[in-house]
């Protein structure tokens, strides 16, 4: 990010007893960015967020926010606010008083507090609910109160820890887009921690995929999805088919993989120890008869799932492995369990994965 970085995390290590939760991790977050930390439970993403917020102290490395080293700076002195997964609303306080809490603690004049609360009520579409207590609100409304309280202090950085986990699917999807619009309107930097890949893909301008205290890959959602760097990233973001074998240069150009299914071809890239070919399910073209393609596999449909906008198939190949395929559209050809078919895909759609640890 260079000079545009609002947050610089430099070689940060965090241990809890003998366990290393973060291991010399470095990361920049740009000013005004919607950044996502994505990974399974226990990978260190929430610990990293708590370090930025000041609730934990690094054992090594440093965290710089807007050019200032945060070492020794307590949470309430940092230009950061955090919205917790549980929302942590005060049950005995009204919506308005919950939103105003941080401003009261700062000692702002009453007129300024009232003006800021009114602004937050309007921004989060809570007008008319300011007198209610949290138990009188829906889950989505409580989430908005927590968001309004976090935004009221106008932090430079808003940290969101699994912010939509308590919402039902429809409301969660609606709120994802609302958060994106809200960040654009405020020009603030948002960092979200989530284990939900769809949530990260919808909201974030960049995603960091974490595993065991390390960052495996950082990039825009499309880049991370279309060109995952290794098996961990490929398996965590969306469904994927992985083909094992020996990778070598193809005399016709690109690479080829020799494995149980014969020879498969990929365009570009360079092979390496422990590497593999990978393919997203939607890149497969299914047909009952062979078609011209760089790669062709024959199989039998074992399972079919209707997903509304697409059909998902599990296809057994000659070596007994299962190939996942997805086809969509009103005019897409459909297949039933037991159907024999051909699965075609282009060399350009093959993803070359590095070996583990690469």
* Dist CA 256 CA 53 (whole Å): 48
Position with higher pLDDT, 355 vs 182: 182
Position with higher pLDDT, 33 vs 308: 33
What tokens were used for 302? 């074992």
CB 98 within 8 A of CB 90: yes
* Dist CA 344 CA 357 (whole Å): 31
Model confidence at 141, in pLDDT bands (50, 70, 90)? Answer: confident
**What are residue 206's DSSP bridge partners?**
35
Mean predicted confidence (pLDDT) in 173-192: 86
Return the pLDDT at 357.
47
Q: Provide the Cα torsion 113, 114, 119, 121; round to 10°.
A: 110
pLDDT at 329 over 90: no
What CATH homologous superfamily does 2-235 map to?
P-loop containing nucleotide triphosphate hydrolases (3.40.50.300)
**What are residue 15's DSSP bridge partners?**
20
Return the pLDDT at 166.
61
Model confidence at 147, in pLDDT bands (50, 70, 90)? Answer: confident
Tell me, what DSSP letter sits at residue 354? B
**What are residue 7's DSSP bridge partners?**
29, 65
Tell me, what DSSP letter sits at residue 75? G
43-57, 121-135, 208-222: the lowest-pLDDT one: 121-135
Q: What share of the chain is helix, strand, coil (3-state, %, to 5)?
A: 30, 35, 35
Return the pLDDT at 102.
87
34-43, 62-71, 137-146, 241-250: the lowest-pLDDT one: 137-146
Return the pLDDT at 182.
84
* Dist CA 345 CA 358 (whole Å): 26
What b/e sequence results for 44-57 when a residue is b if at least 16 CB atoms lie within 10 Å of its CB, and e otherwise?
bbbbbbbbbbbebe
CB 145 within 8 A of CB 89: yes
Return the pLDDT at 138.
86
pLDDT at 201 over 80: yes
Residues in CB range of 192: below 8 A, 6 or more apart: 34, 35, 36, 37, 160, 163, 179, 199, 200, 203, 204
Position with higher pLDDT, 302 vs 123: 302
Model confidence at 256, in pLDDT bands (50, 70, 90)? Answer: very high
pLDDT at 176 over 70: yes
Residues in CB range of 35: below 8 A, 6 or more apart: 29, 189, 190, 191, 192, 204, 205, 206, 207, 208
* Dist CA 353 CA 32 (whole Å): 32
The string of pLDDT tens digits covering residues 14-61 is: 999 999 999 999 999 999 999 999 998 889 999 999 999 999 999 999
Mean predicted confidence (pLDDT) in 142-153: 87
Model confidence at 274, in pLDDT bands (50, 70, 90)? Answer: low
Assess whether the region 2-235 and the region 239-347 belong to the same CATH fold. Answer: no
Mean predicted confidence (pLDDT) in 332-351: 93
Model's pTM, two decimal places? 0.85
* Dist CA 141 CA 175 (whole Å): 11
Return the pLDDT at 3.
55
* CATH class of the domain comprising 239-347: mainly beta
Q: Locate all alpha helices (DSSP H) within 59-168, ordered by sequence.
A: 95-106, 110-123, 139-152
Domain residue extents for the chain: 2-235, 239-347
pLDDT at 270 over 70: no
Q: What percentage of the chain has pLDDT greater than the value 90?
A: 60
**What are residue 22's DSSP bridge partners?**
14
Contacts of 102-111 with C-beta under 8 Å, sequence gap 24+, read: 102/149, 102/152, 102/153, 103/152, 103/153, 105/76, 106/153
């Amino acid at each position: 990010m260079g000079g545009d970085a609002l947050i610089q995390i430099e070689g940060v290590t965090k241990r809890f007893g003998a366990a290393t939760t973060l291991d010399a991790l470095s990361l920049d977050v740009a000013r005004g960015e919607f950044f996502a930390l994505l990974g399974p439970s226990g990978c260190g993403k929430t610990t990293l967020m708590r370090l930025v917020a000041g609730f934990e102290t690094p054992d090594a490395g440093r965290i710089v926010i807007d050019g200032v080293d945060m070492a020794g700076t307590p949470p309430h002195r940092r230009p950061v606010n955090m919205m917790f997964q549980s929302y942590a609303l005060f049950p005995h306080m009204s919506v308005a008083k919950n939103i105003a809490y941080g401003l009261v603690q700062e000692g702002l004049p009453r007129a300024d507090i009232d003006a800021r609360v009114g602004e937050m009520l309007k921004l989060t579409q809570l007008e008319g609910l300011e007198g209610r207590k949290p138990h009188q609100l829906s889950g989505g409304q409580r989430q908005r109160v927590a968001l309004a309280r976090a935004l009221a202090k106008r932090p430079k950085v808003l940290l969101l820890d699994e912010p939509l986990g308590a919402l039902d699917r429809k409301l969660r999807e609606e709120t994802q887009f609302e958060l994106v619009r809200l960040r654009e309107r405020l020009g603030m930097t948002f960092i979200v921690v989530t284990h939900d890949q769809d949530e990260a893909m919808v909201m974030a301008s960049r995603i960091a995929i974490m595993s065991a205290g390390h960052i495996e890959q950082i990039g825009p959602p499309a880049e991370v999805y279309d060109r995952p760097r290794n098996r961990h990233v490929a398996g965590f973001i969306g469904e994927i088919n992985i083909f094992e074998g020996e990778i070598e240069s193809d005399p016709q150009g690109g690479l080829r993989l020799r494995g149980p299914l014969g020879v498969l071809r990929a365009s570009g890239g360079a092979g390496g120890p422990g590497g593999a070919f990978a393919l997203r399910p939607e890149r497969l073209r299914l047909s009952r008869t062979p078609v011209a393609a760089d790669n062709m596999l024959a199989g039998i449909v074992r399972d079919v799932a209707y997903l509304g906008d697409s059909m998902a198939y599990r296809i057994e190949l000659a070596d007994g492995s299962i190939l996942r395929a997805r086809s969509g559209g009103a005019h897409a050809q459909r297949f039933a369990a037991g159907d024999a078919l051909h699965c075609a895909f282009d060399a350009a759609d093959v993803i070359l994965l590095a070996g583990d640890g690469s």
